[in-house]
Every structure is written in structure tokens, then in C-alpha cells.
Amino acid sequence: MPTQYKALLIELLDYPRKRILQSMEVTHCPHAVFFNDRDEQCLTCHQGMECIWMNQNDELVDVNEKSVAELKQQLLIAVDFIDSSLSPHHLSRRQCQCDNCVWLRKVQATLDQ
């Protein structure tokens, strides 16, 4: 069931897409969050990683074109972002039911498949 698995991975990108966009200071970006690798402002921006991720995974990108391996890679990056945005409080509570922790567990279970 490779296609079904792929669809699941794509579905999981939904949550970090919203979260990362929320956490970014979009109003301070002179490029409206379009990463430009020739712009020095982009290269030194503290939101560079988030921005690149968004540019590779937002709704304008046809994520169906990506391979399962690529999708997994993008999910792992997103896990890092969500993970680092959580206080240790969440991490110590294995049964935390907040959206972040629920998503993290879902990704973990999916990637382990």
C-alpha cells in the first residue's frame, strides 16, 4: 500500500505547515515568506530554516511529486521544529494530549511503519 502510506505522510505535513507559519514573523519578512537563495537577507535570516521548509512544503507545492523518502525527510525536519517549540514539560509527559504531542506521536508511529 505505498500510495496509501504516501497519502498519510502528506496529511501529516498539514499540521506543521500551519504551526510553522504561525510561529514565523511573517510581517517582518520583506519577501512575504518566499525564500530567495540569492538574497543575503534571506541567507542570514533567523527564520531561514522555517522559511525554506515552508517554500518546499506549502500548499502551492505539489507534494505528491515528492517520493516517500523525501516526504519522510521533510516530516523529520518538521518534527525538529515542533519539538523545539515545546517546553520540557510536554516531553516529560508521555501522554500529553496537546495538538503538538498528539501530532508528534502520530508522526513517530507512521515513520516506524
- The count of residues interacting with Zn ion (CB under 5 A) is 4
Asked if 105 and 93 touch (Cβ cutoff 8 Å), the reply is no
Grid cell at residue 93: 509527559
> Whose Cβ is closer to Zn ion: residue 12's or residue 45's?
12
CA 55, CA 48: separation in Å to the nearest integer? 10
The interface mask with Zn ion, positions 72-91, x = CB under 5 A, is ------------------x-
Is residue 96 within the footprint of Zn ion (CB under 5 A)? yes
The interface mask with Zn ion, positions 7-46, x = CB under 5 A, is ----------------------------------------
| 86 phi-psi bin (left φ>0, alpha ψ -120 to 50, beta other) | beta
Region of 10-18, 36-44, 74-82, 96-104 interacting with Zn ion (CB under 5 A):
96-104
Shortest spacing between CB 49 and Zn ion, in angstroms: 22
CA 94, CA 51: separation in Å to the nearest integer? 30
Asked if 15 and 103 touch (Cβ cutoff 8 Å), the reply is yes
